[in-house]
Amino acid sequence: MTINKVGVIGSGLMGSGIAEQSARCGFDVVVREINPEAVEAGQKRIFGSMTRGLERGKMTQEAHDEAVARLSFTTEVEALADCDIIIEAATENMALKKEIFADLDRLAKADAILATNTSSLSIAEIAAATSRPDKVLGIHFFNPVPVMPLIEYVRGLLTSDETMAAARQFGADLGKQTVESQDRPGFIVNRLLIPYALDAIRILEEGVATRDDIDLGIKLGLAHPMGPLTLSDFVGLDTLLFIADAMYDEFKDPRYAAPPLLRRMVTAGYHGRKTGKGFYDYS
């Protein structure tokens, strides 16, 4: 199974990063969005990122131009029909993902790999929307995709060895290191990250320490590049809450129960860096 052409559904932070990295690494890429406005926003995000890479000396003019030429954009899902792998990077909503995968099952070629970038949802449930669960797996990238060196692969109950091997080779071709998890909520990284982040929020909420002291304590005491509250803002507090709720629904473990402070901040629109305010003010 050889991967030459990549389809990406969604061009938000994750989808745009996946598309950019794929194009920079020599793959032809088709990016599908829901409307022309979203296509325009995705193009601006991807081309802007590559222009910054060019200006900072991270890529040559020739490499930049070749990567741009490999990218195409569409609002038509049928444009993905000849892709060797299609990566869904839409909103973390199970009903939406199952609808997307049912469409992909109808139009994608028989040997195409269908992947989801979900950070917590069940691969088996998503795969059940298709007639080819052996071709479905999770490919969890990390933000920002061109910078972060890891891909977390998630094997569904029926994912074949052939599919997993081809997908992991694709990750290596993207210049990434890869790890593999079974299909359990949170997989490896979020299974460990979420209770850590929630405990930091609880410490803040209970008045045990200030925001700055929590983050500085972890940075200097555990040699982390950023503290848990800064990291939560970077991930997105809405995303953090969604993953925590999904994991709590599955495990019923109080470690994954979101603190009231987190829920109230998300309700108030404090989602972190992407909205300009979270635990820190980015405005």
Q: Where are the domains of the chain?
A: 5-182, 190-274
- Residue 55's pLDDT band, with cuts at 50, 70 and 90, is very high
Q: Cβ–Cβ contacts within 10 Å for residue 15, how many?
A: 26
- Measure Cα distances from 166 to 111, 185, 198 in Å: 11, 24, 36
Q: Percentage helix, strand, coil, to 5, in the chain?
A: 50, 15, 35
How confident is the model at residue 92, as a pLDDT? 86
Question: Which residue among the candidates 140, 160, 232, 271 is catalytic per the annotation?
Answer: 140
Active site residue 131: no
**DSSP 8-state code for residue 78:** G
Digit-coded pLDDT (tens) for 261-278 = 999 999 999 999 999 999
120 is catalytic: no
Cα distance between residue 153 and residue 70, in whole Å? 25
Top CATH class, 5-182:
alpha beta
Residue 177: CB partners within 8 Å, gap ≥ 6?
Answer: 149, 150, 151, 171
Residue 120 has a pLDDT of 86
206 noted as active-site residue: no
- The CATH number that domain 190-274 falls under is 1.10.1040.10
Mean pLDDT along residues 151-156: 97
- Please state whether the predicted TM-score (pTM) of the whole model is above 0.85: yes
Choosing from 16, 49, 119, 160, the catalytic residue is: 119
Options 152, 160, 232, 271, the catalytic residue: 152
Residue 140 annotated among the catalytic residues of the structure: yes
Q: What is the pLDDT of residues 2-44, one digit of tens each?
A: 899 999 999 998 999 999 999 999 999 999 999 999 999 999 9
Are the beta carbons of 190 and 120 closer than 8 angstroms? yes
Residue 19 CA to residue 276 CA, distance in Å, equals 25
- β-bridge partners, 272: 277
